Amino acid sequence: MSENPNPSSAPAAAPPPTSPTPISNLPQLTRVITSHNAAGQAVIHSTTPFTWSPYDASNLGFSVPYTTSSFPPDLNGDADIADHERVASSGTLGLVNPRGTVLRSVDFAPGYACGMHRTQSLDYGIVLEGEVDMVLDSGERVSMKRGDVAVQRATQHQWVNRSQTEWARMMFVLQDCGKLVVGGREMGEDLGETSGLPASGN
């Protein structure tokens, strides 16, 4: 039995506009990409500020500085950079990039709790600013401080900014994973009903 209350056939809302600065009062972040010159030496390909999109009445700020679309990724001729630019401009990227990875920074407004959700992915979530609670659908709750890492293994969860006055920030690496079956149930993606995000399609 497939558990998927947010089927890929459901219409997705138009993506929100992007901003060259964070929607929060936290510092701007910079993406630095390396490459090679003709002699095989390492060089800087580009240095660019993150771009941000508001979600959920601007209580969430998302930035996706990089994605990959295959494993292992093809770095020849900067093919991976071209793939990322294609994905980033498509307007159809969900939380997970099928057969690839997503690097995403998320800012949480003071006191904000996102909805319970599950992605079909293996995720590393690192707290960069503030303190964040990870809440599971079993009722378990863990408080995470700066530098703590959550390894999310396709489980139902939500993030709660513990502070009522300060923004919090996390960095995530989401990696597509195979279908997960628990107790005979397929644990598919569940974005909830009001996420405003397109289905990942994996």
Q: For residue 54, is it within any domain?
A: yes
Look at the pTM and tell me if it is higher than 0.85.
yes
Instruction: Please count the structural domains in the chain.
Output: 1
**What pLDDT was estimated at residue 198?**
87
The CB density around residue 127, as the number of other CB atoms within 10 Å, is 21
Domain with residue 38: its CATH number is 2.60.120.10
| 194 within a domain of the structure (yes/no) | no
Q: Is residue 174 part of a domain?
A: yes
Token pair for 46: 């580009």
Residue keyed to tokens 């950079």 = 81
Q: What's CA 45's distance to the chain center, in Å?
A: 24
Q: Are 134 and 142 in contact (CB under 8 A)?
A: yes
pLDDT in tens, 77-93: 999 999 999 999 998 99
Strands of the chain (E only): list them. 2-3, 30-36, 42-49, 53-55, 60-68, 101-108, 121-129, 132-136, 141-144, 149-153, 157-161, 168-176, 181-182, 185-187
Euclidean distance between CA atoms 36 and 58, whole angstroms? 39
Task: Answer whether residue 20 is part of any domain.
Answer: no
pLDDT value at residue 192:
83
% residues pLDDT > 70 (the chain): 92
- Containing structural domain, residue 48: 33-187
Q: Please state, as a whole number, how many other Cβ atoms lie within 10 Å of the Cβ of residue 79.
A: 13
Residue 196 lies in a domain: no
Task: Look at residue 197 and tell me if it is in a domain.
Answer: no
User: What residue type is assigned to position 121 of the chain?
Assistant: S
> Residue 43 pLDDT more than 90?
yes
Residue 114 is assigned to a structural domain of this protein: yes
Is residue 80 one of the residues assigned to a domain? yes
